[in-house]
Amino acid sequence: MIFFFRYLRQKRDLAPADLEFEKISIDGIDDAFLRSIKLTDFYSYLTWLSQTRHCSPATRARKIAALRAFFAYLKNKAFLLETNPAIELESPKLMKNLPRHLTLDESRQLLAVAAAGESELTPRDYCILTLFLNCGLRLSELCSINLASIREDTLVVMGKGGKERTIYLNSACLDALEQYRAVRPHTGLKNPEALFISRLGQRLSTKTVQYLIKKYIAAAGLDPKRYSVHKLRHTAATLMYKYGKVDIRALQVILGHVSVATTEIYTHVDDTGLHHAVEQNPLNQVRASRPPSSRKTEKSGV
């Protein structure tokens, strides 16, 4: 807000030209000054933010949102303005960043590296990766899994907001769970109800799981700075949607999203997928059968 008023005072020559921007006073902002502000002032300010201050679209959008709220208050609550000059002000369009994810081959490589371990903890770590990549679990959801959470081929997890949801386990998950539970410690545990146990007999912490995932990502030849636990959730969602032909609503339930709009971020497809979708249109096989004479007629015009 202060930025905007400093900008206007500078633009209107109400501050010394050689005065540093951060030192421009806004003490002279009164009711008359506020009433003089027009929609064009906001757009001029947006241009200045972009070209002079090099602010990103997201930063500009936040500043515009604050101005909108402020001028709405001046009109509707403080009754200082008869009209709101910011009511038609539009924010800069923001590009949605597509979630980073592993490819199918990279996912297989990650699982292969984990499976090749020779530690007594290998079955546990492999099971963790398998659940992340097949079920799209959040970090907190995986760490909170109890033995009682698994019921035959289903897993009950506590999602965001304390909402419980049921996830169906595929054969890969069931096999990994079986192998891990066969070697899971049963005595001397501080948290015997927990599924994933540390060397100290405690429930695995989120920090420990994050460390493990980074370790295996690096061992698989991938950049641990680019991929995190949450990227495995992105990966699971992307692979299910791309290869499993999962309906967007079904994917929403699997991931535990309240709004389907959140799920749509995971349904990004590459140009190859778009090209394939167009090629698969059944009408793509329909061709007009025309004799050569009809083509000549077309060229001559009507």
List the catalytic residues.
138, 160, 230, 233, 257, 266
Q: How far is Cα 156 from Cα 145, in angstroms, rounded to an integer?
A: 8
Cα 117 to chain center, whole Å?
32
Which helix (H) or strand (E) is 156 found in, with range?
strand 154-158
Q: Where are the alpha helices (DSSP H) in 30-80?
A: 31-35, 39-51, 57-76
The letter for the amino acid at 253 is V
Q: Hey, what long-range contacts does 30-33 have (CB within 8 A, 24 or more apart)?
A: 31/80, 33/8
Residue carrying the six token digits 């460390």: 211
Contact 85, 25 (CB under 8 A): no
Structure tokens at 113: 């590296």
Structure tokens at 130: 């398998």
